[in-house]
Chain A
């Protein structure tokens, strides 16, 4: 099913994971975390949950490494039998479809609010999906190459703009560290789920890796890049808006970049840059979700991939427009976060244990 040329290098896998992880969550993370902690310690929660995630990803990679050339859709059937495998695969497909649609909707909401207030949703959502279709028709290689191009400018712009926000940085907003003990930090771990999902894409993408034995390295570095983004964002946002202020903003991170202006240099305002790179990152996440869902369908039904690519586009559009208001969008997101966690820890762990118990392993064709 997978042609020989459809392979990605380890570096590409790293970029893939980080691109997929950096998405919707980053704009709301400081609010979500701080609402749970009620102290300025949110960034510690993010750090801890990131480290936990790296730990969890090892289980997932170990599972994938038993079947280095197969996707989740294929090896799940081998491990727990055909029907359960198909069922689980369908759940994963639905998850990715929903997540993809959610990213599209989030992108549309933010563009509608900050950039194009009078443009209808349709006009931003349809080209977005169409571009996605155009990209994934080419398969995993063009996707990985595009991600390669998009990540460096993202990191550069992000670092520059976040450092510019030092103008409103107030260290007192971050103090005291651990003033109320460790409990708030623990409370903050769980709500970070949505922002930190993304590694579950490895269940499928892993099979494209040229050097599967470097999987753990790829996952660790791939998670660390967005984790660094997330921690920086959380620290700077809380330092600028304060614990009370962060909790009231719909998009606290964008509010952060609207706090300051620099007169005298060519650009005065910087939230546009953040929005631009953020939309690029949303696009990468969306494309990944879309591609994985489509690939899953084609592998389940053992047919060509193209009909699914075109067939799912309108469905994505409908799902994206189904939440009635912004609160529904956020609930949708939270739900997906937990859904994603399911595929990060419990399911891979279960499958790995069963696979070990039943001695299932990939047998190479030779």
Chain B
């Protein structure tokens, strides 16, 4: 009797241990790693307008056969057209053997054209709601057709894009990657912000400039070029590395300043309903290359001259960006509003709604403090004869 009971017990345990309801074999799954949104051509009937074309890039498990994997492409792109994202995604179940799972989605690219007349929040509402897509997925905006960015020549284009966006320690022209999580928080708070844009040209990609997205409409209102993005990065202090190119006023030679650190502070002032800002920027770096023939970096005189030239260049970049933000687009994508919220929470409550409009009229002063701390290995072009 006891024996029988034991056998029954063990059988029950086997039943419980036998497997997982949700298990799927890894070679049956294709992982979606990138997705791109484009504007679909309008159809004939009325309900075929304002549709979206979604392209997804997926990689699937292939047996590690060295010969075949060399020649074969590692990823597949599929696209579909529809009103809602879920609808398109489910369409893929009709188009491919292994409909993908989205939990490894790394990058979402949206075309500029689409975002000019479509609300970003609505576009991404599926992303936000589903449990599959992680909030760490990053977003980019494409100047041309977004799907082209998934066709660039790289082993897996999506990974290439993610990799490039992490290069901020080498260049100051990149905007910090906009993750889905951050994006959602910004949109919930109706804050205007900027997203990195990319440009593809014949299977080649370049990250260039940024797209300004308005907080209340959540649509794209304008673009900044690379230089203006750099200016914006100076204001927000989001610089980890990069260079500033300036000209030596005396000899017209080029000076290249390699940024090692940037500290910045935006200080808001409200005096009798009059708002103004002070931006203090402090940067340290080194002289990495100079085309000044008589340049003697061992003398502080030359260093000071270089500092002044570079400082003027940085200020020029900042003023250009501010002009564009304040006068052309009337949009605060540099976090001035946030400082106001922190320092004057009560006043901010009343201004919050009209802030972007008001921002255009606000005087902003900026001060750049620059220190060239060293000049790498070589200090002098040639020894004086």
Contacts and interface: CB of A to CB of B under 8 A. Distances in A.
Contacts of B345: 39, 176, 179-180
B131 A240 contact: no
B181 interface: yes
A214 interface: no
Nearest to A117: B22
Nearest to B189: A244
B36 to A, nearest CB: 21
A261 B189 CA distance: 24
A242 B186 CA distance: 8
A241 B181 contact: yes
Interface residues of B, number: 24
A309 B189 CA distance: 50
A172 B342 contact: yes
A1 interface: no
A116 B185 CA distance: 27
B21 A248 contact: no
A139 interface: no
A175 interface: yes
Contacts of B131: 113-114, 117
A245 B136 contact: no
B320 interface: no
Given A118-B22, A242-B189, A243-B189, A255 B181 contact: yes
A176 B188 contact: no
Interface string B334-374: 01001001110110000000000000000000000000000
Contacts of A168: 179, 181-182
Interface in B189-205: 189-190
B271 interface: no
A260 B136 contact: yes
A303 interface: no
B184 interface: yes
Contacts of B342: 172, 175-176, 179
Interface in B142-185: 179, 181-182, 184-185
Contact of A116 (B22, B136, B190): B22
A250 to B, nearest CB: 9
Contacts of B20: 116, 119
Contacts of A247: 188
Interface of B: 16, 20-22, 131, 134-136, 179, 181-182, 184-186, 188-190, 335, 338, 341-343, 345-346
